[in-house]
């Protein structure tokens, strides 16, 4: 059943043992000169004059029209709208160029889609794209947008088969207009609030290992196998973290961070922001004076599976438990004074080592074959874009937002939760949050050992090599200083 599958509509396979051989084509993480020049960390207060911190808030509808393909055409197209999808975010105004953070209720945004989102929001906010972080929440009855893939599919008679292209362009432009207008009414920020709380029975690890150290159960978003569900929760980050901005006693925005696949059930053409969207809505109803923006963390190998058999009522149970965690994070919040000098932005472009068996000629032969299934042609088109980006030496931006005693890492791809846990462990003296699902071109990013354990995520649906772990850990260490 589709509801038991993940992003790519394929059951987990136990093969996928990758040969760890060959030269390490490890990309050196480097500071991109322009980014370093324009985005260097601001000094830590000291004698510098105190600029006030201001914030602009925006929210716009990005619900696709009926008939739109969803989730890279791996699920049924939109047949009804259960609840609307939104793009939400904040613009931090510090006296330097603005910093834009945006969270979108879509499955993924990648390649040209990611580039266009950043460029449009940067222009609208009067900043540069390297100071814009765009993230999806990864719901699956939702659009996945890559303007580059249309360039490969359209000449082969497959235009608009993975998403509604004209609508998507208009949606990005509309969000840009809303961003631009939001700058007319920035709010003063005097305080930062930080809180966190454990979430009860939502995320569980999808990869249950057997006695041989290999993946025994691929426990996907909804799981009907009692043995797989009985297995322990496994490695997760149980905490939802919360960052809020205040003007005196008035809360302006609550930003929450929690890592998991957000599906309760999907694949029926019923567009929805799923349980994370419902949890966010519950918080909106409870604290209506603040805006609510939710980011997905490093949830690549996590899902509600252990606690979710896919019955529709689970959506509300999961939403309630996540909202309860968000509420306790809110209640635990401690406030600290904040000014513009307490805000910093740093970008680190990183070259991801590509999966070794990706081959341009093989991709082209499938893409050019009209007898191949649409899903196969779409997948190889997406692989081809990544192969060519790597050949050009393209790097993906990681960034770190410093907010008083908090740091937020903004990451590309569907990272395993181990990255989020490692980032927090690198700076136990700081309040470290992670927003993943930036440019999703790399898809799953496992830990090095995970590629030897087999399983769904580290096979075909990961476009990076096992040594990516070393590259990313080094990059996070650099960013967190």
Residue 231's contacts (CB-CB under 8 Å, 6 or more residues apart) are 208, 217, 219, 306
Contact stretch for Zn ion (CB under 5 A) within 2-10, 96-104, 156-164, 359-367: 2-10
Which two three-digit tokens encode residue 476? 């996070």
Closest separation in Å from C-beta 259 to Zn ion: 12
Give yes or no for residue 264 binding Zn ion (CB under 5 A): no
Give yes or no for residue 256 binding Zn ion (CB under 5 A): no
- Which three-class secondary structure state does DSSP give residue 220? coil
Q: Which residue, 7 or 68, is less far from Zn ion as judged by CB?
A: 7
Give yes or no for residue 86 binding Zn ion (CB under 5 A): no
- Which three-class secondary structure state does DSSP give residue 314? helix
Contact stretch for Zn ion (CB under 5 A) within 4-12, 89-97, 202-210, 460-468: 4-12
In whole angstroms, what is the distance from residue 475 CA to residue 374 CA?
A: 37
Closest separation in Å from C-beta 442 to Zn ion: 12
Give yes or no for residue 382 binding Zn ion (CB under 5 A): no
Closest separation in Å from C-beta 31 to Zn ion: 30
Contact stretch for Zn ion (CB under 5 A) within 5-13, 169-177, 276-284, 450-458: 5-13
Give yes or no for residue 447 binding Zn ion (CB under 5 A): no
Q: At what angle do helices 374-391 and 360-367 cross, to 10 degrees?
A: 150
Give yes or no for residue 4 binding Zn ion (CB under 5 A): no
Closest separation in Å from C-beta 445 to Zn ion: 11
Give yes or no for residue 305 binding Zn ion (CB under 5 A): no
Closest separation in Å from C-beta 269 to Zn ion: 19
Closest separation in Å from C-beta 414 to Zn ion: 5
Closest separation in Å from C-beta 303 to Zn ion: 8
- In sequence order, the β-bridge partners of residue 434 are 409
In whole angstroms, what is the distance from residue 127 CA to residue 239 CA?
A: 33
Q: Torsion angle, CA of 434/440/441/447, rounded to 10 degrees?
A: 50
Residue 47's contacts (CB-CB under 8 Å, 6 or more residues apart) are none
H/E segment holding residue 34: helix 33-39
CB distance 75 to 276 below 8 Å:
no
How far from chain centre, in Å, is Cα 318?
Answer: 19
Residue 165's contacts (CB-CB under 8 Å, 6 or more residues apart) are 147, 150, 159
**Alpha carbon distances (Å) from 139 to 83, 133, 288, 437:** 12, 18, 24, 11
Give yes or no for residue 260 binding Zn ion (CB under 5 A): no
In whole angstroms, what is the distance from residue 470 CA to residue 260 CA?
A: 23
**How many residues belong to the site for Zn ion (CB under 5 A)?**
1
Q: Which residue, 7 or 341, is less far from Zn ion as judged by CB?
A: 7
7, 263, 420, 447: residue in contact with Zn ion (rule CB under 5 A)? 7
Closest separation in Å from C-beta 277 to Zn ion: 16
Contact letters for Zn ion, residues 115-144 (x by CB under 5 A): ------------------------------
**CB-closest chain residue to Zn ion:** 7
**Which residue ranges make up the site for Zn ion (CB under 5 A)?**
7
């Amino acid at each position: 059943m589709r509801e038991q599958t993940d992003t790519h509509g394929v059951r987990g396979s136990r093969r996928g043992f990758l040969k760890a051989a060959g030269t390490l084509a490890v990309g050196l993480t480097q500071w991109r000169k322009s980014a370093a020049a324009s985005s260097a960390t601001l000094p830590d207060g000291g004698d510098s004059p105190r600029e006030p911190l201001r914030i602009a808030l925006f929210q716009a509808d990005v619900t696709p029209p009926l008939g739109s393909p969803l989730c890279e055409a791996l699920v049924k197209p939109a047949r009804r709208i259960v609840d609307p999808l939104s793009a939400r975010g904040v613009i931090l105004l510090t006296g330097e160029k603005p910093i834009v953070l945006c969270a979108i209720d879509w499955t993924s945004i990648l390649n040209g889609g990611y580039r266009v989102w950043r460029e449009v929001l940067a222009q609208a906010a009067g900043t540069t794209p390297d100071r814009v972080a765009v993230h999806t929440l990864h719901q699956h009855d939702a659009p996945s947008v890559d303007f580059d893939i249309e360039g490969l599919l359209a000449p082969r008679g497959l235009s608009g088969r993975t998403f509604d292209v004209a609508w998507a362009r208009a949606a990005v432009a509309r969000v840009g207009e809303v961003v631009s207008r939001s700058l007319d009414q920035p709010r003063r920020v005097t305080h930062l609030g930080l809180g966190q709380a454990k979430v009860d029975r939502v995320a569980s690890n999808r990869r249950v290992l057997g006695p041989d150290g290999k993946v025994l159960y691929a426990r996907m978003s909804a799981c009907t196998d009692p043995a797989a569900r009985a297995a322990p929760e496994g490695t997760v980050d149980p905490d939802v973290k919360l960052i809020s901005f205040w003007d005196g006693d008035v809360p302006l925005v609550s930003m929450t961070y929690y890592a998991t696949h957000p599906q309760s059930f999907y694949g029926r053409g019923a567009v929805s922001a799923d349980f994370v969207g419902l949890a966010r809505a519950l918080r909106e109803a409870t604290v209506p004076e603040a805006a609510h923006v939710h980011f997905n963390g490093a949830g690549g190998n996590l899902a509600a599976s252990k606690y979710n058999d896919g019955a529709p009522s689970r959506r509300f149970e999961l939403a309630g438990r996540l909202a309860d965690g968000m509420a306790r994070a809110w209640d635990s919040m401690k406030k600290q004074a904040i000014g513009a000098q307490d805000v910093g932005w740093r970008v680190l472009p990183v070259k991801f080592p590509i999966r070794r068996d990706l081959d341009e000629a093989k991709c082209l032969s499938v893409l050019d074959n009209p007898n191949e299934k649409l899903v196969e042609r779409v997948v190889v088109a997406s692989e081809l874009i990544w192969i060519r980006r790597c050949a050009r030496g393209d790097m993906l931006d990681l960034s770190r937002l410093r907010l008083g005693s908090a740091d937020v890492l903004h990451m590309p791809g569907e990272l395993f939760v181990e990255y989020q846990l490692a980032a927090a462990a690198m700076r136990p003296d700081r309040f470290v949050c992670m927003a993943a699902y930036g440019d999703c071109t790399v898809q799953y990013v496992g830990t090095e050992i995970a590629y030897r354990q087999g399983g769904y995520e580290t096979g075909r649906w990961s476009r990076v090599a096992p040594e990516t772990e070393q590259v990313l850990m080094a990059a996070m260490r650099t960013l967190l200083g």
